[in-house]
Amino acid sequence: MTGHQHLQELRLHVRQVRHEADDVVSIRFARRDDGELPAWEPGAHLEIRLPSRLIRQYSLCGAPDDRTGYTVAVLRAHDGRGGSAEIHDTALVGRELTVRGPRNDFPLLPAPSYTFVAGGIGITPILGMARAATSRSTAWSLHYGGRSARSMAFVPAIAELAAAAGAPVAVLPEDVHGLLDLDGIVAGAGDGGAVYACGPAPMLAALRTAVARRPDLTLHTELFTAPAPTPGDAAPHTAPDRHERDFTVVLAQTGETATVTDGCTILDAVRRLRPEVPYSCEEGFCGTCDTKVLSGTPVHRDTVLSENDRAGHTSMMICVGSCASDELVLDL
Ligand code: FES
Protein backbone atom coordinates (compact mmCIF):
# COMPACT_ATOMS: atom_id res chain seq x y z
CA MET A 1 0.00 0.00 0.00
CA THR A 2 2.58 2.52 -1.07
CA GLY A 3 2.88 5.32 -3.56
CA HIS A 4 0.43 8.12 -3.97
CA GLN A 5 -2.28 6.97 -6.32
CA HIS A 6 -4.55 9.82 -7.14
CA LEU A 7 -7.87 9.06 -5.50
CA GLN A 8 -11.00 10.66 -6.77
CA GLU A 9 -13.19 12.33 -4.20
CA LEU A 10 -16.93 11.85 -4.47
CA ARG A 11 -19.88 13.17 -2.50
CA LEU A 12 -22.19 10.19 -2.14
CA HIS A 13 -25.54 9.67 -0.61
CA VAL A 14 -26.10 6.87 1.95
CA ARG A 15 -29.03 4.92 0.51
CA GLN A 16 -29.27 1.99 2.88
CA VAL A 17 -27.76 0.64 6.08
CA ARG A 18 -28.61 -3.02 6.57
CA HIS A 19 -27.98 -5.48 9.38
CA GLU A 20 -25.91 -8.33 7.93
CA ALA A 21 -24.89 -10.24 11.07
CA ASP A 22 -24.28 -9.55 14.75
CA ASP A 23 -22.26 -6.32 14.87
CA VAL A 24 -22.04 -6.11 11.07
CA VAL A 25 -23.92 -3.64 8.88
CA SER A 26 -23.61 -2.99 5.18
CA ILE A 27 -23.87 0.53 3.79
CA ARG A 28 -24.88 1.32 0.26
CA PHE A 29 -23.77 4.60 -1.33
CA ALA A 30 -25.02 6.12 -4.58
CA ARG A 31 -24.82 9.40 -6.42
CA ARG A 32 -27.64 11.76 -5.64
CA ASP A 33 -28.73 11.55 -9.29
CA ASP A 34 -28.22 7.75 -9.40
CA GLY A 35 -25.55 8.32 -12.05
CA GLU A 36 -22.82 5.84 -12.86
CA LEU A 37 -19.94 5.49 -10.41
CA PRO A 38 -16.29 4.88 -11.27
CA ALA A 39 -15.49 1.23 -11.95
CA TRP A 40 -13.74 -0.93 -9.38
CA GLU A 41 -12.21 -4.39 -9.17
CA PRO A 42 -12.61 -6.94 -6.36
CA GLY A 43 -10.22 -6.26 -3.49
CA ALA A 44 -10.70 -2.47 -3.77
CA HIS A 45 -11.63 -0.31 -0.81
CA LEU A 46 -13.22 3.08 -0.22
CA GLU A 47 -12.03 5.72 2.19
CA ILE A 48 -15.03 7.19 3.93
CA ARG A 49 -15.03 10.50 5.77
CA LEU A 50 -17.50 10.16 8.61
CA PRO A 51 -19.57 13.06 9.96
CA SER A 52 -17.06 13.35 12.85
CA ARG A 53 -14.32 13.73 10.17
CA LEU A 54 -12.72 10.42 11.09
CA ILE A 55 -11.56 8.65 7.95
CA ARG A 56 -12.05 4.91 7.67
CA GLN A 57 -11.35 2.41 4.92
CA TYR A 58 -13.66 -0.44 4.03
CA SER A 59 -13.51 -3.08 1.30
CA LEU A 60 -16.17 -2.94 -1.37
CA CYS A 61 -18.34 -6.03 -1.26
CA GLY A 62 -21.13 -5.47 -3.78
CA ALA A 63 -21.15 -6.59 -7.41
CA PRO A 64 -18.58 -4.71 -9.54
CA ASP A 65 -20.92 -4.68 -12.53
CA ASP A 66 -23.48 -2.71 -10.51
CA ARG A 67 -22.23 0.79 -11.35
CA THR A 68 -25.07 2.57 -9.55
CA GLY A 69 -23.91 1.91 -5.99
CA TYR A 70 -21.00 1.03 -3.74
CA THR A 71 -21.54 -1.32 -0.80
CA VAL A 72 -19.19 -1.76 2.14
CA ALA A 73 -19.61 -3.81 5.30
CA VAL A 74 -18.56 -2.56 8.71
CA LEU A 75 -17.89 -4.58 11.84
CA ARG A 76 -18.42 -2.80 15.14
CA ALA A 77 -14.99 -2.89 16.74
CA HIS A 78 -15.59 -2.84 20.49
CA ASP A 79 -12.00 -1.80 21.16
CA GLY A 80 -11.71 0.36 18.05
CA ARG A 81 -11.13 4.08 17.80
CA GLY A 82 -14.72 5.10 17.30
CA GLY A 83 -15.12 4.95 13.52
CA SER A 84 -17.11 1.73 13.38
CA ALA A 85 -19.19 2.68 16.44
CA GLU A 86 -20.05 5.96 14.73
CA ILE A 87 -21.26 4.07 11.67
CA HIS A 88 -23.34 1.68 13.75
CA ASP A 89 -24.80 4.33 16.04
CA THR A 90 -25.45 7.29 13.72
CA ALA A 91 -28.47 7.53 11.47
CA LEU A 92 -26.57 7.76 8.22
CA VAL A 93 -29.32 7.02 5.71
CA GLY A 94 -30.04 10.11 3.65
CA ARG A 95 -26.78 11.83 4.58
CA GLU A 96 -24.16 12.81 2.11
CA LEU A 97 -20.60 11.72 2.86
CA THR A 98 -17.29 12.29 1.13
CA VAL A 99 -15.62 9.13 -0.06
CA ARG A 100 -12.29 8.68 -1.83
CA GLY A 101 -11.40 5.80 -4.10
CA PRO A 102 -11.97 3.10 -5.03
CA ARG A 103 -8.37 2.09 -4.55
CA ASN A 104 -7.12 -1.46 -4.96
CA ASP A 105 -4.16 -2.74 -2.96
CA PHE A 106 -5.40 -6.32 -3.02
CA PRO A 107 -6.12 -7.15 -6.68
CA LEU A 108 -7.20 -10.59 -7.85
CA LEU A 109 -4.45 -11.63 -10.28
CA PRO A 110 -5.01 -14.34 -12.89
CA ALA A 111 -4.24 -17.84 -11.57
CA PRO A 112 -5.10 -21.42 -12.54
CA SER A 113 -7.31 -21.73 -9.44
CA TYR A 114 -8.13 -19.77 -6.30
CA THR A 115 -8.34 -20.87 -2.70
CA PHE A 116 -10.10 -18.15 -0.69
CA VAL A 117 -9.73 -17.97 3.07
CA ALA A 118 -11.75 -15.46 5.09
CA GLY A 119 -11.81 -14.80 8.82
CA GLY A 120 -14.74 -12.78 10.18
CA ILE A 121 -15.35 -9.47 8.42
CA GLY A 122 -12.42 -10.41 6.13
CA ILE A 123 -15.14 -11.98 3.99
CA THR A 124 -15.88 -8.56 2.41
CA PRO A 125 -13.09 -8.43 -0.20
CA ILE A 126 -13.20 -12.21 -0.64
CA LEU A 127 -16.88 -12.16 -1.58
CA GLY A 128 -16.18 -9.91 -4.59
CA MET A 129 -13.23 -12.09 -5.52
CA ALA A 130 -15.36 -15.24 -5.52
CA ARG A 131 -17.82 -13.47 -7.83
CA ALA A 132 -15.00 -12.43 -10.16
CA ALA A 133 -13.49 -15.92 -10.19
CA THR A 134 -16.91 -17.27 -11.17
CA SER A 135 -17.22 -14.86 -14.07
CA ARG A 136 -13.66 -15.71 -15.20
CA SER A 137 -14.68 -19.40 -15.08
CA THR A 138 -11.70 -20.12 -12.83
CA ALA A 139 -12.11 -22.89 -10.25
CA TRP A 140 -12.28 -21.63 -6.68
CA SER A 141 -13.03 -22.80 -3.18
CA LEU A 142 -13.82 -20.77 -0.08
CA HIS A 143 -13.12 -21.44 3.58
CA TYR A 144 -14.88 -18.97 5.85
CA GLY A 145 -14.38 -18.92 9.61
CA GLY A 146 -15.97 -16.63 12.21
CA ARG A 147 -16.71 -16.49 15.92
CA SER A 148 -20.22 -17.90 15.64
CA ALA A 149 -22.80 -18.39 12.89
CA ARG A 150 -24.66 -15.23 13.99
CA SER A 151 -21.52 -13.12 13.57
CA MET A 152 -20.83 -14.27 10.01
CA ALA A 153 -22.08 -11.92 7.28
CA PHE A 154 -23.12 -12.76 3.71
CA VAL A 155 -23.64 -16.50 4.22
CA PRO A 156 -26.77 -16.59 1.97
CA ALA A 157 -24.97 -14.70 -0.83
CA ILE A 158 -22.06 -17.10 -0.57
CA ALA A 159 -24.31 -20.15 -0.72
CA GLU A 160 -26.00 -18.77 -3.83
CA LEU A 161 -22.69 -18.06 -5.50
CA ALA A 162 -21.30 -21.48 -4.60
CA ALA A 163 -24.36 -23.18 -6.06
CA ALA A 164 -24.09 -21.16 -9.28
CA ALA A 165 -20.36 -21.82 -9.65
CA GLY A 166 -20.37 -25.40 -8.37
CA ALA A 167 -17.63 -24.29 -6.00
CA PRO A 168 -16.86 -26.00 -2.69
CA VAL A 169 -17.55 -23.68 0.21
CA ALA A 170 -17.07 -24.35 3.92
CA VAL A 171 -18.70 -21.94 6.39
CA LEU A 172 -17.21 -22.90 9.75
CA PRO A 173 -18.19 -20.99 12.90
CA GLU A 174 -15.49 -21.36 15.50
CA ASP A 175 -17.85 -22.13 18.41
CA VAL A 176 -18.91 -25.31 16.62
CA HIS A 177 -15.94 -26.29 14.45
CA GLY A 178 -12.94 -24.63 16.08
CA LEU A 179 -10.38 -22.66 14.08
CA LEU A 180 -10.02 -23.20 10.33
CA ASP A 181 -7.74 -26.13 9.47
CA LEU A 182 -5.28 -24.01 7.52
CA ASP A 183 -2.80 -26.85 6.92
CA GLY A 184 -5.59 -28.96 5.45
CA ILE A 185 -6.84 -26.07 3.32
CA VAL A 186 -3.36 -25.43 1.92
CA ALA A 187 -2.77 -29.15 1.31
CA GLY A 188 -5.97 -29.25 -0.73
CA ALA A 189 -5.18 -26.17 -2.87
CA GLY A 190 -4.90 -26.74 -6.63
CA ASP A 191 -1.36 -27.09 -8.08
CA GLY A 192 0.18 -23.71 -8.87
CA GLY A 193 -2.90 -21.90 -7.58
CA ALA A 194 -3.30 -18.66 -5.70
CA VAL A 195 -4.41 -18.39 -2.09
CA TYR A 196 -6.22 -15.14 -1.22
CA ALA A 197 -6.85 -14.51 2.44
CA CYS A 198 -8.29 -11.71 4.53
CA GLY A 199 -8.69 -11.89 8.26
CA PRO A 200 -6.97 -11.28 11.57
CA ALA A 201 -3.19 -11.28 11.93
CA PRO A 202 -2.82 -14.67 13.70
CA MET A 203 -4.81 -16.39 10.94
CA LEU A 204 -2.69 -14.79 8.23
CA ALA A 205 0.53 -15.66 10.06
CA ALA A 206 -0.49 -19.32 10.39
CA LEU A 207 -1.47 -19.39 6.73
CA ARG A 208 1.89 -17.95 5.73
CA THR A 209 3.61 -20.79 7.57
CA ALA A 210 1.37 -23.39 5.93
CA VAL A 211 1.87 -21.96 2.41
CA ALA A 212 5.66 -21.90 2.91
CA ARG A 213 5.48 -25.69 2.64
CA ARG A 214 3.85 -25.42 -0.81
CA PRO A 215 6.23 -23.39 -2.99
CA ASP A 216 3.95 -23.88 -6.01
CA LEU A 217 1.29 -21.65 -4.41
CA THR A 218 1.24 -17.87 -4.21
CA LEU A 219 -0.27 -16.22 -1.16
CA HIS A 220 -1.97 -12.81 -1.20
CA THR A 221 -3.23 -11.42 2.07
CA GLU A 222 -4.97 -8.40 3.49
CA LEU A 223 -5.20 -7.65 7.17
CA PHE A 224 -8.50 -6.21 8.29
CA THR A 225 -7.44 -5.19 11.76
CA ALA A 226 -4.39 -3.94 13.60
CA PRO A 227 -1.61 -6.49 13.93
CA ALA A 228 -1.79 -8.15 17.36
CA PRO A 229 0.54 -6.20 19.63
CA THR A 230 3.79 -7.97 20.33
CA PRO A 231 5.34 -7.62 23.78
CA GLY A 232 7.98 -5.25 22.32
CA ASP A 233 5.31 -2.78 21.25
CA ALA A 234 4.98 -1.57 24.79
CA ALA A 235 8.65 -0.66 24.95
CA PRO A 236 9.21 3.10 24.95
CA HIS A 237 11.30 3.12 21.77
CA THR A 238 8.54 1.56 19.66
CA ALA A 239 5.57 3.56 20.98
CA PRO A 240 4.24 5.80 18.18
CA ASP A 241 4.82 9.00 20.13
CA ARG A 242 8.25 8.27 21.59
CA HIS A 243 11.26 9.91 19.99
CA GLU A 244 14.95 9.77 20.85
CA ARG A 245 15.00 13.57 20.75
CA ASP A 246 12.88 16.46 19.46
CA PHE A 247 12.98 17.19 15.74
CA THR A 248 11.46 19.66 13.31
CA VAL A 249 8.94 18.78 10.64
CA VAL A 250 8.85 21.08 7.63
CA LEU A 251 5.75 21.13 5.43
CA ALA A 252 7.39 21.78 2.08
CA GLN A 253 4.37 23.20 0.28
CA THR A 254 4.11 26.20 2.61
CA GLY A 255 7.39 26.14 4.51
CA GLU A 256 5.54 25.90 7.85
CA THR A 257 7.36 24.06 10.61
CA ALA A 258 6.34 22.15 13.71
CA THR A 259 8.37 20.62 16.49
CA VAL A 260 7.78 16.98 17.32
CA THR A 261 8.46 16.27 20.96
CA ASP A 262 8.29 13.10 22.99
CA GLY A 263 4.66 12.19 23.66
CA CYS A 264 3.42 13.60 20.33
CA THR A 265 3.29 11.85 16.96
CA ILE A 266 4.37 13.44 13.68
CA LEU A 267 0.71 13.22 12.70
CA ASP A 268 -0.30 15.20 15.82
CA ALA A 269 2.19 17.92 14.93
CA VAL A 270 1.11 18.02 11.28
CA ARG A 271 -2.60 18.14 12.18
CA ARG A 272 -2.12 21.33 14.15
CA LEU A 273 -1.15 22.99 10.86
CA ARG A 274 -3.19 20.85 8.48
CA PRO A 275 -6.31 19.59 10.23
CA GLU A 276 -7.52 18.00 7.00
CA VAL A 277 -4.53 15.66 6.60
CA PRO A 278 -5.92 12.14 5.97
CA TYR A 279 -5.41 9.47 8.60
CA SER A 280 -7.38 6.58 9.93
CA CYS A 281 -5.98 3.76 12.08
CA GLU A 282 -3.24 5.78 13.85
CA GLU A 283 -1.49 2.47 14.36
CA GLY A 284 0.56 2.23 11.19
CA PHE A 285 -1.38 -0.46 9.39
CA CYS A 286 -3.96 1.15 7.11
CA GLY A 287 -1.73 3.29 4.87
CA THR A 288 -4.02 6.35 4.89
CA CYS A 289 -1.37 8.70 6.30
CA ASP A 290 1.33 7.59 3.83
CA THR A 291 3.33 10.79 3.27
CA LYS A 292 6.14 11.56 0.86
CA VAL A 293 9.45 12.39 2.54
CA LEU A 294 11.58 14.94 0.68
CA SER A 295 14.53 14.93 3.07
CA GLY A 296 15.56 13.74 6.50
CA THR A 297 15.90 10.22 7.86
CA PRO A 298 12.55 8.66 8.76
CA VAL A 299 12.33 5.91 11.36
CA HIS A 300 9.64 3.51 10.21
CA ARG A 301 7.32 1.78 12.66
CA ASP A 302 4.42 0.84 10.40
CA THR A 303 3.40 -2.50 8.96
CA VAL A 304 2.48 -1.07 5.55
CA LEU A 305 5.83 -0.51 3.84
CA SER A 306 8.01 -3.39 2.64
CA GLU A 307 11.73 -3.56 3.46
CA ASN A 308 12.42 -2.23 -0.05
CA ASP A 309 10.08 0.73 0.38
CA ARG A 310 11.72 1.53 3.69
CA ALA A 311 15.23 1.38 2.27
CA GLY A 312 14.31 4.13 -0.20
CA HIS A 313 13.05 6.42 2.61
CA THR A 314 10.74 8.08 0.10
CA SER A 315 7.56 7.87 2.14
CA MET A 316 6.43 7.04 5.67
CA MET A 317 3.37 6.54 7.86
CA ILE A 318 3.43 9.68 9.97
CA CYS A 319 1.00 8.30 12.56
CA VAL A 320 3.66 6.00 14.02
CA GLY A 321 7.04 6.96 12.53
CA SER A 322 9.84 9.00 14.01
CA CYS A 323 12.97 10.70 12.72
CA ALA A 324 16.69 10.09 13.19
CA SER A 325 17.79 13.48 11.77
CA ASP A 326 17.14 16.98 13.15
CA GLU A 327 14.71 17.82 10.40
CA LEU A 328 12.15 15.93 8.33
CA VAL A 329 10.81 17.61 5.21
CA LEU A 330 7.41 16.27 4.14
CA ASP A 331 5.61 16.83 0.86
CA LEU A 332 2.62 18.45 2.52
FE1 FES B 1 -3.20 4.28 9.33
FE2 FES B 1 -1.21 5.98 9.59
S3 FES B 1 -3.28 6.36 9.89
S4 FES B 1 -1.14 4.01 8.75
- What amino acid is encoded at 196 in this protein? Y
pLDDT below 50 — which residues of the chain? 1-4, 226-237
Strands 139-146 and 169-173 come out as parallel
Domain 9-104 belongs to what architecture? Beta Barrel (2.40)
Determine the atom of ligand 1 nearest the C-alpha atom of 284: 4
**Per-residue model confidence (pLDDT) at position 6:** 56
* CATH 3.30.470.20 matches 236-330: no
pLDDT value of position 236: 32
Q: What is the pLDDT of residue 134?
A: 94
CB 58 less than 6 A from any atom of ligand 1 = no
Query: Residue 176 in contact with residue 147, Cβ under 8 Å?
Result: no
Ligand 1 site, residue 279, Cβ cutoff 6 A: yes
pLDDT of residue 237: 37
Domain residue spans in the chain? 9-104, 113-223, 236-330
Q: Is 119 in the pocket of ligand 1 (CB under 6 A)?
A: no
Q: Which atom of ligand 1 is nearest to the CA of 267?
A: 2
Q: What is the pTM assigned to this prediction?
A: 0.69
Cβ burial 100-131 (10 Å sphere, 16+ → b, else e): bbbbbbbebeebebbbbbbbbbbbbbbbbbbb
- Tell me the per-residue pLDDT of 62-99, one tens digit each, with 9 for 90 and over: 888 899 999 999 888 765 557 788 888 888 898 999 99
pLDDT at 79: 58
- CB contact at 8 A, 329 and 250: yes
Domain 113-223, second-level architecture: 3-Layer(aba) Sandwich (3.40)
pLDDT given for residue 11 in this prediction: 94
